[in-house]
Amino acid sequence: MIGSLARKIFGSANDRRVRAYYPKVEAINALEPELEALSDEQLRARTEDFRKQVANGALLDDLLVPAFATVREAAKRTLGQRHFDVQLIGGMVLHEGAIAEMKTGEGKTLVATLPVYLNSLTGKGVHVVTVNDYLAKRDAEWMGQIYNFLGLKVGVIVHGLDDEQRKVAYECDVTYGTNNELGFDYLRDNMKYELPHMVQRGHIFAIVDEVDSILVDEARTPLIISGPLDDRSEFYNTIDKFIPTLDKAHFDVDEKLRTVTLTETGMEFLEGKLREADLVKGDSLYAIENVSVVHHVNQALRAHKMFQRDRDYIVKNDEVVIIDEFTGRMMPGRRYSEGLHQALEAKERATVQPENQTLASITFQNYFRLYDKLAGMTGTASTEADEFADIYRLEVVEVPTNMPMVRDDQDDEVYRTGAEKYRAIIALIKDCKERGQPVLVGTTSIEKSEMLAQSLSNEGWEQHDFSDVNAFAKLYSGDGGAKNALVFAVLNARYHEQEAYIISQAGVPGAVTIATNMAGRGTDIQLGGNADMRIRQEVGDLAAGPDRTAKEKKIRDEVARLKEKALAAGGLFVLGTERHEARRIDNQLRGRSGRQGDPGTSKFFLSLEDDLMRIFGSDQLGGMLTKLGLQENEAIVHPWINKALEKAQQKVEARNFDIRKNLLKFDDVMNDQRKVIFEQRIELMRDDDVAETVADMRRSVVSELVARHIPQNAYPEQWDTPGLKIELQNVLGLTLPVDEWAKEEGIADEEVRERVTRSADEVMAAKVAKYGAEIMRYVEKSVLLQTLDHLWREHLVMLDHLRQVIGFRGYAQRDPLNEYKSEAFQLFDTLLNRLREGVTAQLMRIEIVQAPPAQTELPPMQAHHINPDTGEDELALAAASAAEARVAAADRKTDDPSTWGKVGRNEVCPCGSGKKYKHCHGRFA
Ligand code: ADP
Ligand code: MG
């Protein structure tokens, strides 16, 4: 109470912050007449001038006003758009490395051009990050007009580019790309063997669009690069055989949590079995060396005790196929990770398929923390302000809208059952249709979208495929068409380009669009439709001329007329079919309506059967509803309910934040190690000559070996000379008379160390003499890098497994994170030891039979990012849609348009009519 009163009088901290930007806005505005008077050449020449000033030590902050004014003038001349004052403010927020919260339709794409231009003046490259390839391409082309006008180079990183193309794109002043592709390049770069092969040139400044989606939602799963691993089917089969020998006392099953754990006796029992099979090292199963074995035992146990054939999976043609737990559908091709799928195959006596090994991985949190300066923009950040501050040190600044917001956000309507709720939803959709009001129906999953689509189809509505750009053609006449054509579209965030088109027309009167929250992201819904998108679709390949001009005008007039109608019908109605766990996602949905001062309405429909209500609604809410007298087929609308739900959402948000924070803490351990390794690698690649490094390694190995067998200050009688002799042979390939040396008068360990070192150095010197210094330097470097990579990958797998088993360990009182940290450190130390030994051993034995290959090949690799909401692999989808766009003519069936993929407008129509596609199946109604 007092707080909100105080805010009324003094304004909020945010208001004050925003107010502080106005003097600069005034200064930028004041430059306008002067810049308007410049010719295009003169305007462009300012870029060179700014660059010189920066090179001479001028601060970017001091150039902000003239640089922003320059960009605004260029935007006016190229796009015909003048940055609004609030857009200038957004640009300043981004330049300061904060998050600009700007509502949908405020023009964030254009806002980014201001700080991008300013920060590109250093010549070090600015990255703009988008959520999908379509948006990266769209924004680079769209904003590229401004950049090119000002003499900046623009690059785009999308799926399917080769290294050469990537490198060129990263060399540009501005590079647009998705979080997945940028992270992927970073990981891949750090597996290269030569510096010039690296494609990225540093991480200076990134602006992340839809920053909440990328840094909060997507960040729940890491980016992974994997490659094939050696065949280990023997191993799985061996472990599998032990499981059926367990009895009830050996494990505990928790049906609810879906976990199974070995008991103390079970562990002892298995340890015996594993020992017999020679699978345990050292004296305890829980020693660090056995982490992987324990992990696979756990997986085998899960495969047997938690997974049921024909319920969770089926076995078909020697393959284990997962059954989706929610839809009951088979998911061929999908595999459980971490060896679980192999464990199921072993259990079912199916062939154990080769597995993939993680070659590298990183979370988005850690990727984006690489940047010297990070900024973000989105319509919805304030609910997650704590997380941005905590994890990324990013402040959220709410930038006011250009026009006052007048959308009517109505209270939720609550029903008793889902069926009643859906009846009300359909009634509202029909009502919108009759009044010609466009409606966007938001769902929480693809399944729910499909269910709603089915209900509409049952009542005679026609669903338009998302690839059908004519979905709304029937509505374009406005008038009767809007009300009578019972058509709707369903978007599910897979075919970004087509979905962008459909969502851009979702503001046409009578349009009904059902979409999950991710669908059509980045494209705003304008009332009456989007004229530019329609022009590109409908007359895009028409040469400029009177014909085209006339058609363009017709479309623009039509859109203007439709806009009047949509306005009269109340603007866009956003209908939420369920509350999401996070308020932010609900706000994203509402934000689709009411852009740039347009009218609009938003409303959520809920039922007591919704997940959020069932799980988090608490008894309090139930009691409240009884008090309010909730009846069958009747809805309750009351501000109390909204408040209560908001509380429930806040609780879930806090819990999810905790989960993410905890995950990050574990990942930070690996991240620190990754940084060390990657830095080392780059340094090694940078060195022309690593002879010094490998010689140092060799000397430490020798010291280490000698120390292991000759205790300090020990008499020669106490030396383990036979052991030392064998190890010198094994590791260094040296046969030395250590036993003779031990008999010498007054000999000490120091003397032995020197002699061994000398012999080893001689061997290496002989190799240099034999093969030439140049070849040896090359060989040393590649042996070093390859051994490092090999060990690092093994290390990653170990860390993964360690993380899986750390919770199961018997350290009752200890904190798993601390345990993980100290064991991970030990493993890292071991890695360094093994590196020294491995490199030395290889080099001591190396014989070069032919000239070394010019370039070391990277292993075959795949990149993955599992979307945390849908469980789908985004990079596989990106690859599939890139492939789909290029369906070979031979694979197209003339009578089945779904096999055609993307057809060029001027191609001959694949149906065989002989006409051009645009005059046949590709024709717009
Ligand atoms: P956001 O990302 O903030 O939702 P977009 O960048 O997609 O918004 O822009 C929404 C629409 O507003 C686009 O059609 C864009 O061309 C238009 N727009 C943005 N800024 C301006 C401006 N200053 N003047 C006119 N139109 C603008
Ligand atoms: Mg946008």
Closest approach atom of ligand 1 to CA 81 = 24
Ligand 1 within 6 A of CB of 82: yes
Query: In the beta sheet, which residues pair with residue 489?
Result: 464, 513
**Ligand 1, from 524, 533, 534, 596: best to mutate by most atoms within 8 Å of Cβ?**
524
* Top-confidence residue, 566 or 639: 566
Nearest residue by C-alpha to atom 19 in ligand 1: 107
Closest approach atom of ligand 1 to CA 532 = 14
Name residues whose C-beta falls within 8 Å of residue 20's C-beta, 6 or more positions apart in sequence.
Answer: none
pLDDT tens-digit series, residues 380-421 = 999 899 999 998 999 999 999 999 999 999 999 989 888 999
The tokens for 180 are: 């997945």
Radius of gyration of the chain (CA): 32
Nearest residue by C-alpha to atom 16 in ligand 1: 107
Nearest residue by C-alpha to atom 12 in ligand 1: 107
pLDDT tens-digit series, residues 843-858 = 888 777 655 444 455 6
Q: How many degrees, rounded to 5, is the angle at CA 69 between CA 66 and CA 71?
A: 110
Please report where in the chains the tokens 């304008």 appear, as a residue: 526
Instruction: Round to whole Å and give the CA distance between 492 and 502.
Output: 12
Ligand 1 within 6 A of CB of 617: no
The tokens for 575 are: 């209908």
pLDDT-derived band at 859 (thresholds 50, 70, 90) equals low
Ligand nearest the Cα atom of residue 402: 1
Burial category of 8 from C-beta neighbours within 10 Å (exposed 0-12, middle 13-18, buried 19 and up): exposed
Burial category of 824 from C-beta neighbours within 10 Å (exposed 0-12, middle 13-18, buried 19 and up): buried
**Ligand 1, from 77, 84, 109: best to mutate by most atoms within 8 Å of Cβ?**
109
pLDDT tens-digit series, residues 520-577 = 888 989 999 999 999 988 888 888 899 999 999 999 999 999 999 999 999 999 999 9
Task: Flag whether pLDDT at 699 surpasses 70.
Answer: yes
Instruction: Output the CA 525–ligand 2 centroid distance in Å.
Output: 11
Nearest Cα residue to 64 out of 34, 41, 94? 94
Burial category of 520 from C-beta neighbours within 10 Å (exposed 0-12, middle 13-18, buried 19 and up): buried
pLDDT-derived band at 904 (thresholds 50, 70, 90) equals low
Share of the chain above pLDDT 70, in %: 90
Ligand 1 within 6 A of CB of 507: no
Instruction: Output the CA 504–ligand 2 centroid distance in Å.
Output: 12
Ligand 1 within 6 A of CB of 84: yes
The region of weakest confidence among 43-47, 360-364, 561-565, 675-679 is: 360-364
Instruction: Round to whole Å and give the CA distance between 288 and 294.
Output: 10
* Strand residues in 505-639 grouped as ranges (E): 512-516, 572-576, 600-607
The tokens for 703 are: 């010291």
For position 854, what pLDDT does the model report?
47
Query: In the beta sheet, which residues pair with residue 515?
Result: 442, 491
Instruction: Round to whole Å and give the CA distance between 75 and 69.
Output: 10
Instruction: Output the CA 43–ligand 2 centroid distance in Å.
Output: 27
Closest approach atom of ligand 1 to CA 596 = 12
Ligand nearest the Cα atom of residue 109: 1
Name residues whose C-beta falls within 8 Å of residue 508's C-beta, 6 or more positions apart in sequence.
Answer: 438, 472, 475, 476, 482, 528, 529, 562, 566
Ligand 1 within 6 A of CB of 81: yes
Helix and strand tally (H, E) in the chain? 34, 23
Instruction: Output the CA 66–ligand 1 centroid distance in Å.
Output: 22
Ligand nearest the Cα atom of residue 110: 1
pTM of the entire predicted model: 0.82
Instruction: Output the CA 145–ligand 2 centroid distance in Å.
Output: 17
Ligand 1 within 6 A of CB of 524: yes
Name residues whose C-beta falls within 8 Å of residue 407's C-beta, 6 or more positions apart in sequence.
Answer: 571, 590, 593, 594, 598, 599, 600, 601, 602
Cα within 13 Å of Cα(701), Cβ side: 29
Q: Are strands 439-443 and 572-576 parallel, antiparallel or unpaired?
A: parallel
- Helices 691-709 & 773-806 angle (0-180, nearest 10): 60
Residues in the chain: 925
Ligand 1 within 6 A of CB of 109: yes
Nearest Cα residue to 394 out of 191, 216, 202? 216
Ligand 1 within 6 A of CB of 110: yes
893 three-class SS: coil
The tokens for 889 are: 């003519």
Instruction: Output the CA 87–ligand 1 centroid distance in Å.
Output: 10
Distance (Å) of CA 394 to CA 181, 207, 381: 23, 12, 11
Instruction: Output the CA 209–ligand 2 centroid distance in Å.
Output: 7
339 three-class SS: coil
For position 288, what pLDDT does the model report?
62
Ligand 1 within 6 A of CB of 83: yes
Task: Flag whether pLDDT at 657 surpasses 60.
Answer: yes
Instruction: Output the CA 107–ligand 1 centroid distance in Å.
Output: 3
Ligand 1 within 6 A of CB of 107: yes
For position 925, what pLDDT does the model report?
38
Instruction: Output the CA 871–ligand 2 centroid distance in Å.
Output: 24
The region of weakest confidence among 36-50, 157-171, 828-842 is: 828-842
* Top-confidence residue, 330 or 780: 780
Task: Flag whether pLDDT at 758 surpasses 80.
Answer: yes
864 three-class SS: strand
For position 467, what pLDDT does the model report?
67
Closest approach atom of ligand 1 to CA 142 = 16
Task: Flag whether pLDDT at 840 surpasses 70.
Answer: yes
Nearest residue by C-alpha to atom 18 in ligand 1: 107
DSSP letters of 628-662? HT--TT--B--HHHHHHHHHHHHHHHHHHHHHHHH
**Ligand 1, from 87, 93, 110: best to mutate by most atoms within 8 Å of Cβ?**
110
| Mean pLDDT of the 84-113 span | 97
Mean residue pLDDT across the chain: 86
b/e burial code for range 457-493 (CB count within 10 A of at least 16 → b)? eeeebebbebbbbbbbbbbbebeebbeebbbbbbbbb
Eight-class DSSP state of 545: S
Nearest residue by C-alpha to atom 26 in ligand 1: 81
Q: Are strands 512-516 and 487-491 parallel, antiparallel or unpaired?
A: parallel
Instruction: Output the CA 103–ligand 2 centroid distance in Å.
Output: 9
* Top-confidence residue, 566 or 286: 566
pLDDT tens-digit series, residues 188-238 = 998 888 889 999 999 999 999 999 999 988 888 888 888 777 778 888 999
The region of weakest confidence among 22-31, 65-74, 452-461, 467-476 is: 467-476
* Top-confidence residue, 355 or 146: 146
pLDDT tens-digit series, residues 641-653 = 888 888 888 888 8
Ligand 1 within 6 A of CB of 105: yes
Ligand nearest the Cα atom of residue 131: 2
Ligand nearest the Cα atom of residue 588: 1
Distance (Å) of CA 757 to CA 112, 698, 776: 60, 8, 19
Nearest residue by C-alpha to atom 2 in ligand 1: 108
Tell me how crowded residue 257 is: count the other CB atoms within 10 A of its CB.
7
- Helices 22-36 & 60-78 angle (0-180, nearest 10): 50
| Mean pLDDT of the 731-735 span | 87
pLDDT-derived band at 902 (thresholds 50, 70, 90) equals low
Closest approach atom of ligand 1 to CA 209 = 2
Burial category of 777 from C-beta neighbours within 10 Å (exposed 0-12, middle 13-18, buried 19 and up): middle
Nearest residue by C-alpha to atom 17 in ligand 1: 107
Closest approach atom of ligand 1 to CA 104 = 4
Instruction: Round to whole Å and give the CA distance between 752 and 709.
Output: 11
Ligand 1 within 6 A of CB of 106: yes
Instruction: Output the CA 557–ligand 1 centroid distance in Å.
Output: 20
* Top-confidence residue, 884 or 497: 497
CB 696 within 8 A of CB 689: no
Task: Flag whether pLDDT at 793 surpasses 50.
Answer: yes
Q: Are strands 356-362 and 223-228 parallel, antiparallel or unpaired?
A: antiparallel
Instruction: Output the CA 130–ligand 2 centroid distance in Å.
Output: 9
CB 595 within 8 A of CB 105: yes
Instruction: Round to whole Å and give the CA distance between 440 and 425.
Output: 12
Tell me how crowded residue 912 is: count the other CB atoms within 10 A of its CB.
11
